[in-house]
Each structure stands twice: as structure tokens, then as C-alpha cells.
Structure 1
Amino acid sequence: MSARLARTRNIGIIAHIDAGKTTVTERILLYTGRIHRTGEVHEGAATMDWMVQERERGITITAAATTCQWRDHTINIIDTPGHVDFTAEVERSLRVLDGGVVVLDAVAGVQPQTETVWRQADKYSVPRVALVNKMDRRGASLERTVEMIRDRLNAIPIRCQMPVGREDEFRGVVDLVAFNQRNFIDDGLDHVRISEIEPELVSKARAAREHMIEEIADFDTDIAEKFLENDPISNQDLSDALRRITVANTAIPVLCGSALRNKGIEAVIDSIVDYLPSPLDVPVISGTHPKTGADVRCPPEDDAPPAGLAFKVTTDPFAGRLTYVRLYSGRIKPGSYIYNTTRRKRERVGRILRMHADKREQLDEGLGAGEIGAIIGLKDTFTGDTICNQNQPLLLESINFPEPVVKVAVEPASRADQDKLGAALVRLADEDPTFRVTSDIETGQTLIAGMGELHLEVIVDRLLREFAVRSSVGAPQVAYRETIRRAATGVGKFVRQSGGRGQFGHVVLEVEPTEDGVENSFESRIVGGTIPLEFMAAVEQGVGDAMTEGPHGYPMTGVHTRVIDGSYHVVDSSEIAFRIAAAMAVRDAFERASAVALEPIMELEIRAPDTYMGEIIGNLAAKRGNIRRADSDGSEVLIEAEVPLAGMFGYASELRSQTQGRGTFSMEFARYEPTNASSLAGSRA
């Protein structure tokens, strides 16, 4: 079993949009024999972009999984979206992966979403290798991109290759580890001819190899000792050291190539096998016992108790509801029962599948430790849930997702569509943790919220294509939030007496801003039984009810609630009474806690011809934007700014008009910031 796991790699392909992730994945599948001809993204035929919307738009929307073989190793690959609106797909994929390949554009270098996915990978301590793609493009620079990795990502890049030829003359690389030259033969495939290094490149290559060895020696004691003692360092020594420092997540091996031109792909697959960790190389996952709180280890062994994390839920038109699971320990077989600790429910496992984009392969032997698969039959398991053996329960750390920032009202086109709309939205919300469905209290309209305009466009399109629900949507609105600026105490007392048994609940609590300003939290400081323990769950529910709408009418965020006192009646107290009393106490506290409305601030990166810089900056200033950087190389300007989302709806059309179609931009959510009343005019939660 350990031999199988040692030859297993669970990896993700991550990057900024249009850096070439899906093209890299397609080439990996081609060279490993998983597919026999490539489908191009720009032609709408990529294997991994299987959704209709993905093929029409030329972007990845949902993380697609596949498996391939290379050098007797099994590589499980998840190709993730690069567009910021679908960041949840990246978050949940990285949570369950052991390693990643980060694809960077050799011309643009590190871009905003590169920084986002890098932070997500850092959050889960995912070891990475980097591919600097599009080396055949005009303006491509490996050196500049490596420096951007160092400066903007605060990482330690180690160049393992040196390009041979620049831009459209890019024809090979010098492998600084093996110290030979890999020449790309232009026969439609990246068939590499290995040769000695060209004489005119030997001196430069030797200096680059020495620099690489020095960088490795900074992080690996074996190489450092040999380097200081002037002992010979073999190619295998270097390869082993690169694996050690990559698995330890202290440095990043950097390769270069051009995926679209089939250049450099075999070296990328080799690096996945040689440098990225197996399930045996990563720290053993631990959970907590749901009752005792004790640590429970999940060793990657088939004979250990099963423990896994559901990281994605989808609906397959033929197979039905699919729950994607990373199994950390044990084995799950078709027909067996598992326990969902998160939901406290026992579920029967139907079939278990290994997915290849939208195609499937049945696993009759089941899912083993360290593997990723899709389970049919789990009706009550959702993203972030822990599955295990009921007799040996544990809870794994769940997955946190960002809050939606854009919302629109959606109306069914007819009565028949109205009947289907609710069920369709529930299904879509089950699949996507960043998609929310609510009702406007005043108008009764159905509101859908997501991470951006594109996110909601795709949702509405899926309503029509997958569920045959015709609908119309209103103009996009900002999803505002509220928080508090100071601590306050609130009292809530709910008393009803109308003959016979009445209702009684009394809660005293404190609210204060949380340190991170993002998550709401709850604690009980009740002593002496002033509120019986059996009612505390109802108190927490009541606090949650009050958090859905603050004094300004928006959901509350960044509030810590502490229950400190209360009282009860032996006969009249009930769960509903304490739930209502707790909500009353929170609202009472908010009146003295200086509640303030928050608006989403977006990070914006714009590239346009230099002549349009003044007009672009002036337009951003009118949107209350803060210019952080404006660099020009004489022909193109790069502008980085922070702008409230309220001013950014329809900005793509504005920028096209300003620059005569020659400007491009990318935008991602940065944070929530306090806003004033004038910014909220005409808006509702």
C-alpha cells in the first residue's frame, strides 16, 4: 500500500486567468496518453473545459478532475479556474491537494489572481513548482517573471532551466540540474532531443547552475556541506535536494516553456513526479473528536479507520448527485455505510467513480487512503463535511469561503418557470458555496448573490440550459455588510402569559468587534446555571438570527458575541423563548455599538496604451478609486488601484470605450471597508 501511495501525486493546476492552465493540463493528458489529440481552449474544445459555458467563453468555470500515468506514477489532477469570480473552486481544490503547478504568463508575469491563488496555496501549505508559460511570445522574460515571484509573492524561486532562444525563436532549454540541452523538435509534439549545451551558451549555463546550487545550499544541509567542502555534487544530489526543499515548501523550482506550442511539457510532468510530494510526504492530517475534542490522527493507510473530506458537490445528468471526496485514511467501498460527522447523519455509499472531466470510470475496489474520487448516493453531504466511521468519529477542518459581493433580483418568466426556479436555485447553491439565495423582506423578490457579474451571468445561463428555467434579472447591486466599532452590552427579555403555560426567556450578552473583522463568533460565559445548557443552542441560533440584518439593514460581520447572564422559568422557559430573547439582546446591544456599513473594495489592474493613462486615472478617481501604482514603459501603462465595487459595474465597456478596445483589466475582491450614507443611497441588503 505504501508503494502505491509513494507513486501517487494529487496536484492542482492554478494561475491567473489566461495564463494557460487548461492548455498545460491538455498537454499533460496528451503526453501521458490520457487523450490522443488536444482540444484547444480558444477553439472551445478543451477536454477539461467540458461545460457549455466554459467552451463558449474560453475560460474555466468549475474545477475538473482527471487522472493520468507517468513513469509508473498515478497523477490525480484538478484544473482550476483563474477568474476571480470562481475563486471558491480554487479554495476547495487546494484544501485537499498535496501539491500544485503554478502557471505564469512570461509576458505579464505575476498578476492579481496569481497573488490570490498563491495566498490560497500558502494558507494550506501546498508545495509548488512554477511554469513560466508563453516563452515564445513577444516581450516574454523568464528573468523578470522570476524576480516578480520573489518580490510580489514573497517566495524563493529556484531557476532549474535556462531558455535557448528568445520570443518566437524559443527552441529549447538548458536543464541546469542534468546540465544538458533539451531541444524542442517542431513536429507537432514536444519530442525532445537531448544534446550537449551549445558552446556559446556553456559559460552562461555554468554560471546559472552555480547560482542554482548556491540557492539550494541555502535550504539544504547536504548540498551546503558538499558545497562548502568543495565535494563533487551529482545531478542526483541536486534532484534529491530540490525534492526535499519543495516538499518542505521552502522554495519553488521554476521551469519555462510554451504549452500551446508543445514546448517544455515533459519536463513539467517530470517535475510533478520528481519534486512534488506524495500523500506519504505531507504531514499526517489530524481531526478532533466531536465529543472530547481530542486530536485524532488520520494516517494514510488503507487499514486505518476511514476519514475524508467532501470538497465538492455536483449534479451529473446521468449519474445524479456526485460528492467529491479526498480520503485521507482507510478505505471506502461501494455499498458500505459512512458517517457524516458534520451533519450527524449515516449515509450509504452507492457507486464510487474516478472522473475524467465529465466522463467517469467505476471503482469496484473502492476508494483508498490518499485518493480522490466521486461518490454517488450521499444525499445529505455537502462541501466541507467530514465523513468517517461512526464508531470512530472525528471532525476535520472545514473549508472557509469568501462572502458574495454582488447580488441581483431574479424573476421567473412564467408561472411554470416559477415552480421550477426554487428547486433549481437550491441545487445550484448546494454545488457552489459562494452562491447564495435570499428573499427581499420588503419586495418579496428572490435575490441571488455571488462573487461577481460573470459568476451570476453563468448561474442564470445554467438555469436555462440545465434546468429549462427562463428568467430575467435586475441590475447588479452591491452586497453591503455591517460591523460594529465598539463593545456594548444588550438585554433581551421575552415574556408571554396567556393562561396556562407561557413563554419566558432572559438573555444578557456583550458584543465586540472581532480581531480579523471578518468572521462572527460566539461564546458562553454562563456560570451557575442562570441559563440551562439545554437552551444554549437556541440562544446561539437567536444570535445568528439577529446577525442577518443590522441597524442599517445589512448582514453583520466581524462581531463576537459573549453571553454573560440571564434567567429562566422552570415551567415557562422554552427554546423558542430563548431564541427570541437572544435576538432581542443582540439588537439592543447594536444600538450602542456604533454600527457602521461596509462596502466591498476591489483590487484593480489595468493594462492599456500609455496615451490613455490620464483619462483612465481620472475616471478611477471619479469612482472614489485609490491609485497604488502607475508604471509606464513608454508604450504600455500598468495601473494598480483599489476601487469600491459600486463604481465598477459595466467597467469593461467603459474601458473599451476609453482605449478604443486596446485596454484590458482584471479585478478581484480585496476587503470590506466602512462607507458613508451617500454611497448607500437606494441600496438594500
Structure 2
Amino acid sequence: MPTVNIGILAHVDAGKTSLTERLLFETGVIGRLGSVDAGTTQTDRGEIERRRGITIKSAVAALGVGDLRVNLIDTPGHSDFVAEVERALGVLDGAVLVLSAVEGVQAHTRRLMKTLRRLRVPTLLFVNKIDRVGARHEELLADVRRLLTPGAVAVTAAEDAGTKAARVRPAVLGAADAERLAEHDDAVLAALVDDRFPGESELREALARQTALGRAYPVYFGSAITGVGVAELIDGVRDLLPRAGGDAYGETRGTVFAIERGRAGEKIAYVRVRNGVLRVRDRTEFGTITGLQVVGLQGADEARPGDIAKVRGLPGIRVGDRFGSAETGQAANTATTTNTATDFATPSLETVVRAADGDRTRLHAALVAMADQDPLIRTRALPGGESSVLLYGEVQKEVIAATLAEEYGVQALFEPSRTVYTERPVGVGEYREDMTHDPSTRFRATLGFRVAPGPAGSGRVFRYETELGALPPVFHRATEETVLRALDQGLDGWEVTDVVVTMVHSGFCSVTSVAADFRKLAPFVLMRALTEAGTEVHEPCHAFELDVPADTVSAVLSALMAAEAEIEVSEGGTASWSLRGNLPARTVQDVEKTLPALTRGEAVWLSQAAGERPVRSRPAARERTDGNPAELGEYLRHLALEKA
């Protein structure tokens, strides 16, 4: 049976989960529509999701359209849970991006569309809520083309938008649509050059080809609540989105994009199979599969290419793990890259968590278990017994607190969130520590590292200039893993990125050296080299777009300057001005709160995470958990305590 895996994506409250319910209802999967407000939807299964009325974790449901099986992946709409969306994007054959006909193109909508376009994910746009007061049609379509993509092609049109009688009709593709399609279609272009307007069927075929290639974006109008326009969207899923591919006879490959817990607390991994076949009792690199359920196929005992399977029996598996062989082994003079950069920004906030009852061990164990399901919820134990957690926003903090209480029985107290900074080397530094034959030698190892800046976005790179076989492989591996882990804390305790670490010297004693010697020595040598290189602290930024009345621009600019904004574009006339630039993430909320008063409520503000920039004044150092390897005495005391 042909299969297509599609994601339902949207800005929060655009009606994404309601659309998922309507699709399941219209295709006969459910006999009664669930309600987000009542907490009775199919894909918001968690108690916290039902109570808050928001999607927190991606969920999968299957429906049939003729002989086509469609796996729907309902993703969170709130930006605090963007990591869930990111993981879903990696397993999709296509997507439906939901917009509100009332609110229009919102900040998170633009962020999602930018990534969908860059990844060339075939995408249909569904303009929801055409039955609501204030719904727009032509004006919104113009905004979609201006703010999301010029390749938007209306497949349906709304009539009586903004009323309970709103309905849709097929849109006739006109000259403007033909010109849009001609940009990527030689046949359509040739017809226009010859003064022959392509027929409707010819344009529809061109639209289907370009949609599959991620170059054209069909637009559908409708209402998830009334069902108007949903049948046309279902036809679009069937006719325009590409089918899942893969070779059932090839090597088994798949991606884990979500993990949930069963009733007994066991892990259940959601796997998108790309190649080969997964079966019960298969032995994998993560263990032996003891249970397997294919979403949408009752009684299936194997998962084939395109399938999404719920797999049991793999206790060590994590989100992001991949089934199938990977290149292993590393020779000298090669490089290993660890890059945590993603399509979405990494968490920019950190909070310290304490157990209300003082049971630090149970709190940390619960946080580790949660991070095991969501790797971007990174947690670490702090000196004194507290734990820290990385966050995208305050809503995520509330959800973590509720999850700890309801699923783990831990009442947690959170400190106010603080900005997460990063460090980047500004120069080149080198240091080496030689092993001696003195029995009192601290480490039975010799290491030398050179630290240098790497290209922007390159993450962490580890290279070798030592000769092949200079160290046994186990010592190479111990050194490399330790260096990459030690870069989690730079000179000021913040994560180091865009850095190249090169091993320039090494040695060992064949009789007494062990891998632990290299693990202990590597952080000390690394920090000495990093100290010589020096680091610059960077902070997360947001890119912003702002339209304000012309008579308020002076006051707005003053507020932006106070918020440490950098203005890149400033243009306008007698009626309004447009401002573009970036500002620190820590000042975004202050600006958003100030704008209404400065602009009589007429400001139009959009912002999204957009990389980092050097801080104007170096922030306070972050509390260390590694014993401060840059200071030998302090580091040795830390190692002695660990050993004790």
C-alpha cells in the first residue's frame, strides 16, 4: 500500500489539532469529533496536553484516502516546543502548514515556512477559520506571498469569509499563476512565450510537479470546525504530495523521532522506516526488538519503507538514534565534527531546579529520564546538589514542573530563568603536558592540543596531526570523547562552539598507561590551550521586523537602542516606517511590552531566533561542574573527590 507521512504544523492556536481531528473524522477513522477545549482529541493524549489545550509532544495517527495510507504527525504549535517540530521534519514526505484567516501570517508561521522551504519539504497551505469574524481572503493571500513564499498558488477560494455561511469554491488558475509556475517549468514558460495560455489541466500538472519539488505551494481555504474546504485539502494530499520511497530488500535504516513511556514505564520508540524491514526479534545496535506495531496497520508483524512503527524492547534508545550501519573507525589526520546547530535555534534559557522535599537524587533522576526522551532538555547536576535545565521558554518550564509532579511524584521549585551564552575562541593557543618516568606523575599520559577558531556554524571539530597508530585506538577514543565533552564548559563555564581542537602531541607508557589517564589529562591540557587562545562570549539574538506609524519612529528607535538593538534597515514615508535588525533575546519581551504605548497600539512586530552575537559586556561566569581544569590544584582536588 502506498504511504505518505505528513506533518501538521502551525503557529499556536491556528487550529492545527482541530484540523487533525477533522481529517480523521472525514476519512472515517473516528466517528465523533474531539474537542481541544474539552481535552478529547486523538493526538493530545497526555493529561497535561488535555488540561492546557496545547500539543506538547508529536503524535501520529493514520487515515486512508482511497488506496493511500496517510500518517499524520501532529506537532506542537507553541515555540517553546520547537524541538518536537524539528524532529518531525526529518521524517516527513510532506507537510500541511496551517494559518488562521483571522490572525494571518504570524511569527512562528514564518519561522516554520522558512525551514520548510529550505529543506524543500513539499507543503500545502491551509488557511483555517474562514468562518470567523475578521477572516480575510485576498488580503491574506497577498500576505502569504509577501511574507511566506511568492510561490503560493490558490487552489480554492473563500466566499462570504468572516461569516457562518463561509464556503469555498475551486479557484481558476490565471495568468499570474501561470507566470509563477513558468519560473520553474520550461513547458509553461514556452507556452507563454508563444502567446499561448496553458490550459487548466496543463497548469494543474505543472503545479503537482513543482509542489513535489518544494517550489510551489498550493493554498486551500476552509474551516476545521465546520469541515468546509477539508475535502479539497484531502484531495490535495492525495494528488500533490509525493509517496514515501525506499527499498524493502536493502539494508534496514530508520530514524527515531519520538519516545513515549508505556504503562509499565518502558520505552516505546517511534521509528520512521526508510529502507529494509523491521521485525519483532530483530537484533539491532540498540538491542532486540520485543514488540512492534505499525501505525495504521492492525496485526502487521513487520515495518516496511515508509511505515512508522512503535518499537518496544530497546531500553537504551534515544530520540535521534538511527537504525542501520554507520561509518566507524577513524584514522589519524582526520577530523570528527560535533555540530549541535539545527534548523531551529538551541535553547536560550537555563533555570536551576530544586526538589521541594530536598530529595536531590530523585529530582535529578527524573530530569535525566525526561531529557532521555527530549535531548534538547539538557540537564546537569550542579555543585551543592541542585540541577539545571535548558529551556526554550517559560511555558516549557511550567510543563516540566507539571510533568515532574504528575509522572514522577517530584515537586520542583524553579529559579528565575537566565540567558544561556556561548564562548568562541578569538585566537590560537597551544599547550602540551608530558608524562615523565617519575612514579609520582599525576597522569600516565602525554597530550598536546592546539585550539583555534572554526568557521561560523561549524560547531566543534577534533583533528589529528599525530601519526597514525601513535596511540592505541582506545586512547584516541578516550581523548576525543573527553575533549568534545569538556567543551561544554569554556573559560567562563559556557559551552564552546565554532572551535577546532587539534591533537599535536601524544605519548603513553605501554605498561602503566590506561584510558582513564587520557580522560583526566585531556580537560587540563585543553583548558590551558583555550586560555592562551582566549574566548569571546556570545549571546542569542532575535531578528526583528517592525512597522510603526511615521510620527512614532523617533520614540521607537530610542526604545530599540536602549534594548541594544542593531538597526539594519530603516525606511518609510509620511505614513509609516519599517525597521529591520536584531537585538538580544533577553530584551525582546521588554520591547514587545513597550511598543503598544509608544505606537498607540499600531505597531506590527515580528521576531524570531536568529543566531548569536558578541555581548557588549562579559556576563558573570557560569557555575562549573568540572572542577575547573584550567586551575591545576582545583582540578586535582576535584578528581580526588570524584575518586573518593
TM-score by length of 1: 0.79
- Which deviates more from structure 2 when the two are superposed, residues 623-632 or residues 15-24? 623-632
**C-alpha contact (below 8 Å) 1:160/1:212 kept by paired residues:** no
SS of residue matched to 2:180:
helix
Query: How far is the alpha carbon of 1:133 from its aligned partner?
Result: 2.5
**C-alpha contact (below 8 Å) 1:352/1:362 kept by paired residues:** no
Q: 1:456 to 1:658 in 2, by over 3 A?
A: farther
**C-alpha contact (below 8 Å) 2:364/2:381 kept by paired residues:** no
Structure 1 counterpart of 2:210: 245
CA distance in 2, matches of 1:664, 1:234: 40
Q: 1:422 to 1:655 in 2, by over 3 A?
A: farther
Q: Which letter maps to 2:400?
A: I
**C-alpha contact (below 8 Å) 2:81/2:392 kept by paired residues:** yes
Structure 2 counterpart of 1:86: 81
- Which deviates more from structure 2 when the two are superposed, residues 81-90 or residues 490-499? 490-499
CA distance in 2, matches of 1:639, 1:133: 30
Query: How far is the alpha carbon of 1:275 from its aligned partner?
Result: 0.3
**C-alpha contact (below 8 Å) 2:486/2:523 kept by paired residues:** yes
Structure 2 counterpart of 1:161: 156
CA distance in 2, matches of 1:602, 1:113: 13
**C-alpha contact (below 8 Å) 1:486/1:513 kept by paired residues:** yes
Q: 1:12 to 1:216 in 2, by over 3 A?
A: same
Structure 1 counterpart of 2:257: 311
SS of residue matched to 2:564:
coil
**C-alpha contact (below 8 Å) 2:541/2:585 kept by paired residues:** yes
Structure 1 counterpart of 2:467: 527
Query: How far is the alpha carbon of 1:88 from its aligned partner?
Result: 0.9
CA distance in 1, matches of 2:494, 2:437: 29
**C-alpha contact (below 8 Å) 2:463/2:503 kept by paired residues:** yes
SS of residue matched to 1:323:
strand
The answer to whether 1:262 aligns with 2:242 is: no
Post-superposition Cα deviations, 1:415-435, rounded to whole Å, max 9, x if no partner, equal 5x5453233212210111210
CA distance in 1, matches of 2:460, 2:101: 41
CA distance in 2, matches of 1:647, 1:214: 43
| Matching residue within 475, 478, 489 for 2:419 | 478
Q: Which letter maps to 2:614?
A: P
The answer to whether 1:403 aligns with 2:403 is: no
**C-alpha contact (below 8 Å) 2:543/2:581 kept by paired residues:** yes
**C-alpha contact (below 8 Å) 2:20/2:74 kept by paired residues:** yes
CA distance in 2, matches of 1:427, 1:328: 28
What is the identity percentage for the equivalent residue pairs of Structure 1 and Structure 2?
Answer: 27
CA distance in 1, matches of 2:262, 2:575: 49
CA distance in 2, matches of 1:383, 1:46: 25
Post-superposition Cα deviations, 1:604-628, rounded to whole Å, max 9, x if no partner, equal 6789999999887765544334467
Structure 2 counterpart of 1:434: 376
Q: What is the 5 A alignment of 1:162-311?
A: 162-168=157-163, 171-176=166-171, 179=172, 208-224=173-189, 235-280=200-245, 300-311=246-257
Structure 2 counterpart of 1:193: none
Q: Which letter maps to 2:293?
A: L
Query: How far is the alpha carbon of 1:649 from its aligned partner?
Result: 6.9
Q: Which letter maps to 1:247?
A: A
CA distance in 2, matches of 1:278, 1:73: 9
Structure 2: runs of 5+ lacking an equivalent: 330-337, 625-644
CA distance in 2, matches of 1:592, 1:249: 48
CA distance in 1, matches of 2:265, 2:482: 39
| Matching residue within 308, 331, 342 for 2:277 | 331
Structure 1 counterpart of 2:121: 126
Post-superposition Cα deviations, 1:568-593, rounded to whole Å, max 9, x if no partner, equal 33334332223333322321221222
| Matching residue within 54, 69, 76 for 1:59 | 54
CA distance in 2, matches of 1:660, 1:220: 47
CA distance in 2, matches of 1:663, 1:466: 43
| Matching residue within 498, 509, 525 for 2:439 | 498
Structure 2 counterpart of 1:460: 401
Post-superposition Cα deviations, 1:481-517, rounded to whole Å, max 9, x if no partner, equal 2111223323233558437x98432222222222124
Q: 1:150 to 1:658 in 2, by over 3 A?
A: closer
Structure 1 counterpart of 2:320: 384
| Matching residue within 106, 115, 127 for 1:111 | 106
Query: How far is the alpha carbon of 1:164 from its aligned partner?
Result: 2.5
Q: 1:543 to 1:264 in 2, by over 3 A?
A: same
Q: 1:156 to 1:229 in 2, by over 3 A?
A: same
| Matching residue within 521, 529, 532 for 1:589 | 529
**C-alpha contact (below 8 Å) 1:476/1:649 kept by paired residues:** no
**C-alpha contact (below 8 Å) 1:338/1:389 kept by paired residues:** no
CA distance in 2, matches of 1:422, 1:478: 21
CA distance in 2, matches of 1:365, 1:497: 63
Q: Which letter maps to 2:107?
A: P
- Which deviates more from structure 2 when the two are superposed, residues 633-642 or residues 128-137? 633-642
Q: Which letter maps to 2:206?
A: A
Q: Which letter maps to 1:547?
A: L
Q: Which letter maps to 2:262?
A: D
SS of residue matched to 1:522:
strand
Query: How far is the alpha carbon of 1:638 from its aligned partner?
Result: 9.2
**C-alpha contact (below 8 Å) 2:354/2:387 kept by paired residues:** yes
**C-alpha contact (below 8 Å) 1:110/1:152 kept by paired residues:** yes
Q: 1:640 to 1:51 in 2, by over 3 A?
A: farther
Q: Which letter maps to 1:26?
A: E
Structure 1 counterpart of 2:509: 569
CA distance in 2, matches of 1:634, 1:57: 45
SS of residue matched to 1:96:
coil
The answer to whether 1:516 aligns with 2:456 is: yes
| Matching residue within 520, 531, 535 for 1:580 | 520
Q: Which letter maps to 2:170?
A: D
**C-alpha contact (below 8 Å) 2:57/2:84 kept by paired residues:** yes
| Matching residue within 632, 645, 650 for 2:585 | 645
**C-alpha contact (below 8 Å) 1:311/1:383 kept by paired residues:** yes
Q: 1:580 to 1:634 in 2, by over 3 A?
A: same
Post-superposition Cα deviations, 1:135-155, rounded to whole Å, max 9, x if no partner, equal 344554444444444444455
SS of residue matched to 1:41:
coil
CA distance in 2, matches of 1:617, 1:668: 19
Post-superposition Cα deviations, 1:12-71, rounded to whole Å, max 9, x if no partner, equal 011222222222212111211122222233444433222232233332211111001123
**C-alpha contact (below 8 Å) 2:71/2:295 kept by paired residues:** no
**C-alpha contact (below 8 Å) 2:244/2:306 kept by paired residues:** yes
**C-alpha contact (below 8 Å) 1:484/1:559 kept by paired residues:** yes
Q: Which letter maps to 1:376?
A: R
**C-alpha contact (below 8 Å) 1:407/1:479 kept by paired residues:** yes
Query: How far is the alpha carbon of 1:279 from its aligned partner?
Result: 1.0
Q: Which letter maps to 2:612?
A: Y
CA distance in 1, matches of 2:58, 2:48: 13
Equivalent residues, number: 614
CA distance in 2, matches of 1:58, 1:631: 41
Q: What is the 5 A alignment of 1:582-661?
A: 582-603=522-543, 621-626=561-566, 642-647=582-587
SS of residue matched to 1:260:
coil
Structure 1 counterpart of 2:630: none
Structure 2 counterpart of 1:96: 91
CA distance in 2, matches of 1:521, 1:652: 38
Query: How far is the alpha carbon of 1:648 from its aligned partner?
Result: 5.3
CA distance in 2, matches of 1:255, 1:52: 33
**C-alpha contact (below 8 Å) 1:385/1:398 kept by paired residues:** no
